[in-house]
Structure 1
Amino acid sequence: MNLPLPLYRPAQVRDMDRRALTELGLSGYELMGRAGAAAWALLRKRWPQARSIAVACGPGNNGGDGYVLARLAKAAGCRVQVLVAPGADPRTPDAQRCARDWRAAGGVTRIFDGDLPAAEIWVDAIYGLGLTRAPGDATQAMIERINATRLPVLALDLPSGLDADRGNAEGVAIRAQATLSFIAGKRGLHTGPARDYVGEVFIDGLGLPADVLQGFDTQARLYRAENLAAGLAPRHANAHKGEYGHLLCVGGEVGMGGAVRLCAEAALRTGVGLASVATRREGVAALVAARPEAMTHAVEDADALHDLIRKADVLAVGPGLGQGPWGRSLFETAALSGKPLILDADALNLLALHPRELPQAILTPHPGEAARLLDCSNDQIQADRYAAVDALVKKFACVIVLKGAGTLVGAPGEITAVIDAGNPGMATGGMGDVLTGVIGALHAQHLSRFDAAVFGALLHGAAGDIAARVDGERGLLPSDLFPHLRRMANPE
């Protein structure tokens, strides 16, 4: 069974590095040799035709890794040039030794003067894990020039300028096509702004034994499409619809009936036993015509909702709900019902007006909704998405799905999940309604709140990725996910 990838904070990885040096008797120079060799192997595999390589080296051990790669590439017959910012000569003894090896092999190091050498590919070995500030002026100018070339970049350990813990950049950062992360996965490389910089992320343990990682608490877990089978067990032969739950979708104010229809159909495509819809009278006929499998009811007030709530196992509240008197009434009735809740869209906006703990709920905010729930700015949410999830979990005492690039799922007592699925084509109205239906369907099928949120977000993102591969990201519709949801919900 494929397991999610454990992710750590940068300080933990630095401690792992020190453990390798002290307990295994390895030298920093030897680890740099392994890192440089691993990076050179990846470069050859990823860009096998490249013959002209430029390596930007910094003053620390990350720069030492770059000098090793440069020497190996030169030995293989490539044209290699090393570039450093003014005043960025190697400062650590091990990096200095790697630079001497480079010079002994006939290599030349050039000082950045505003111009860049010609190359087919760049290697970023400027900054490692220790950087928590914006790059200096000269290095910033060099990074901007490298980015402006639009050439492929391989980043060693992380793109220089990126915060490997929070996933944001205080200033300019390298935009890489691939990142080779050493020793263990870093949590900041997989969510939020970082996704604009890292490209495809690879991890190389540098040949260190597994016990180097022992004793370090996992800070997050990265879930990929291949992990779906662990949460979506096949059905037994004698199954009946009652075993797979009854989801009630509440929403569809006048003019917004499409949102609740998307939610209900997503639930059905994800395998819920029964899907009901509580919506405005004006929307009933259209929804029945479009999706007769969803049992649709005209609900004009809270009294009419009570009987539907009683029959349902899980409530999905918010798609097209609105914030008028009708939406407010239905939201409060659902929130007070004691039934498991999936809250999205206007249900979240109504909750933000009167915050309370909802331990039976799964909240699915995008960054803007999260900012309203925490009474802060969108920028503050994106600057540290892990901290935002933790704050939401603490405030509402429930499962939180913070949507966006590298969706995060947090819950009381659980290790945060990072969803490595989804694409920019999914940044369109209605995708959240589909996600609400997917998560609601899995919770109704007896997955725990946390597992329903994790595997629901993963299934939703994986289906979106397949849909984007078929016809491209731009123009992707939420309903384009439906056939792929069904396919991905039945992993072999």
Structure 2
Amino acid sequence: MPDTQSHLPDALYTAEQVRDLDARLIAAGTPGLELMQRAARATWRAVRRRWPEAGVLTVLAGHGNNAGDGYLVAQLAHQAGWVVRVLAVGDPAALHGDAATAHQQARAAAVEILQWLGQPLVGVVVDALLGTGLRGEVREPYKAAIEAINAADLPVVAVDIPSGLSADTGQALGCAVRADLTVTFIALKLGLFTGAAADHVGQLLCEDLQADPQSLSQTPATATRLDSANLAALAPRPRTAHKGQFGRVLVVGGDHGFGGAALLSAESALRSGAGMLTLATRAEHVTAALVRMPEIMSAAIHSANQLTGLVAAADVLVAGPGLGQGSWARSLLSVVAGADTPQVWDADALNLLAAGQVRLPSGCVITPHPGEAARLLGVTTAEVQADRPAAVRRLAEQFKAVCVLKGSGSLIADPQGRLALCDRGHPAMASAGLGDVLSGLIGALLAQHMQPFEAACLGVWLHARAGELAGLEGRGLLASDLIVIIRRLLEELQPCLK
């Protein structure tokens, strides 16, 4: 995930919204050149803090305001005694407005400015090529310049956004700069946190350029970045609490050969605070469930008729972990789908839904990974990943459900238009069974009387944060490693007792 700071704002905006904020700042009396100078000073401060002994700076400049920031950074570094060179990938003669003034100031300060002809890069590299207005794939000569930056194996700071990265979707538009540090301005852009962003942004700093907080507050955020301070809370339990107050979760899954998925989901739900847990699975998995966790009430299910009574007694249903897609799975899922009970659907439940085998009740939580999301939407996985925010919103609207689109920069959307993003996680989480743990966790939070959107947000954050902590030990993370950590995190964040 991007190396973010805990004090970053939690409001995320589109590129158009930030451009509008920039225009309003100028209209309110702050000259555009002054904003550009503030951006340059912020970037230069960040460079000095990160690489204080470097002494050499190469700026690759494009042709817009992003280039103007770069020319002013070069001027500041030159005045501080660094060896500085600007390689103009965009023709300086095409610059206009504040960017042209910035170029003139750098030239007047005797900064060396050369046309980029593929020269070797040295020192700290400043990416001032392409800004947030990029549409469509990167074209030459910018493609070659980005490839040169990525091949140079030098420290890289991106001005506002890594060139080639979509500010709205996080998609790498053909190619994108892999920065070690990104200094973004005025407000956070959604695309800095999802899609391919984690491989390109590096450490992220946000400089508001002294923007009026009231102006920011008047612009509704397009999404909320989840943080421990803005998560919905489970109420503390009274000292007279009993298990019946915290819900009976029924996990339905575990076809032949897939019992582990259902067991992981069941254990996760119990460890996350569900009052009672019943596992409806194949007979062959019952003994394993009793041995692993005797607190689970395990039911051997041969036919849909045997499931009806268990569904009627449950407060929350979790369907899909290890369910399979055969006749057994279809018959069980049809019973689940007929229940007027809060539900979480994952894995094969989503595959059967995509195949038209069953209809999803309204008000559910669905947790697809990009491949499952693609099948639900009838598109390719690449199309989902190209615009994850649009995909998750479409799923929430189409199925009238809270949707968690898993992956780097997981997104949570509801049919009312709310969108949240989780920027936690660790690459060690690329391991089987993690989704089963998440579905059980969200089921447990629903059983403890959380609303679906709030339960999904809290569950995704706890799951990702637990993965970060478990990932500190490196490769080989098991899904079950997260369960105890999630329990500890939940207690630290929202204690059981006051």
| TM-score range for the pair, normalised by the shorter chain length | over 0.9
Say if 2:321 is the partner of 1:319: yes
Say if 2:14 is the partner of 1:12: no
> What is the DSSP-based 3-state SS (H/G/I as helix, E as strand, rest coil) of the residue aligned with 2:74?
helix
Partner of residue 366, structure 1: 369
Question: Which of 189, 205, 209 is the aligned partner of 1:206?
Answer: 209
From the superposition, tell whether residues 170 and 358 of structure 1 become closer, same or farther in structure 2 (CA, over 3 Å): same
Are 1:3 and 1:227, in contact at CA under 8 Å, matched by a contact in 2? no
1:50-129 equivalences under 5 Å are 50-85=54-89, 87-89=91-93, 91-119=95-123, 121-129=124-132
> What is the DSSP-based 3-state SS (H/G/I as helix, E as strand, rest coil) of the residue aligned with 1:172?
coil
Partner of residue 309, structure 2: 307
Partner of residue 154, structure 1: 157
Say if 2:24 is the partner of 1:22: no
Q: With structure 2 as the length reference, what TM-score do the two structures score?
A: 0.94
Counterpart Cα distance in 2 of 1:22 and 1:200: 32
Counterpart Cα distance in 1 of 2:265 and 2:255: 14
| Corresponding letter in the other structure for 1:13 | V
Q: With structure 1 as the length reference, what TM-score do the two structures score?
A: 0.95
| Corresponding letter in the other structure for 1:486 | R
Identity within the alignment, % = 46
Counterpart Cα distance in 2 of 1:248 and 1:411: 23
Aligned alpha-carbon RMSD (Å): 1.8
Counterpart Cα distance in 2 of 1:43 and 1:293: 55
| Corresponding letter in the other structure for 1:268 | L
Are 1:7 and 1:184, in contact at CA under 8 Å, matched by a contact in 2? yes
Say if 2:255 is the partner of 1:250: no
> What is the DSSP-based 3-state SS (H/G/I as helix, E as strand, rest coil) of the residue aligned with 2:143?
helix
Say if 2:494 is the partner of 1:490: no
From the superposition, tell whether residues 280 and 88 of structure 1 become closer, same or farther in structure 2 (CA, over 3 Å): farther
Are 1:32 and 1:65, in contact at CA under 8 Å, matched by a contact in 2? yes
| Corresponding letter in the other structure for 1:50 | A
Residue-pair matches, total: 487
Counterpart Cα distance in 2 of 1:375 and 1:481: 32
Are 1:249 and 1:263, in contact at CA under 8 Å, matched by a contact in 2? yes
Counterpart Cα distance in 2 of 1:132 and 1:139: 13
Counterpart Cα distance in 2 of 1:424 and 1:225: 21
Q: CA deviation at 1:115?
A: 2.2
Q: CA deviation digits over 1:446-465, x for unaligned, max 9? A: 11000111111111000000
Q: CA deviation at 1:392?
A: 0.8
Q: CA deviation at 1:217?
A: 2.4
From the superposition, tell whether residues 89 and 426 of structure 1 become closer, same or farther in structure 2 (CA, over 3 Å): farther
Counterpart Cα distance in 2 of 1:117 and 1:278: 61
Q: CA deviation at 1:64?
A: 1.0
Question: Which of 377, 402, 415 is the aligned partner of 1:412?
Answer: 415
Counterpart Cα distance in 2 of 1:339 and 1:277: 16
Are 2:353 and 2:360, in contact at CA under 8 Å, matched by a contact in 1? no
Counterpart Cα distance in 2 of 1:286 and 1:128: 55
Counterpart Cα distance in 1 of 2:156 and 2:271: 40
Say if 2:483 is the partner of 1:468: no
> What is the DSSP-based 3-state SS (H/G/I as helix, E as strand, rest coil) of the residue aligned with 1:213?
helix
> What is the DSSP-based 3-state SS (H/G/I as helix, E as strand, rest coil) of the residue aligned with 1:478?
coil
Q: CA deviation at 1:237?
A: 3.3
Q: CA deviation at 1:391?
A: 1.4
Q: CA deviation at 1:16?
A: 0.7
Are 1:10 and 1:165, in contact at CA under 8 Å, matched by a contact in 2? yes
Counterpart Cα distance in 2 of 1:69 and 1:281: 68
Q: CA deviation at 1:140?
A: 1.0
Are 1:409 and 1:416, in contact at CA under 8 Å, matched by a contact in 2? yes
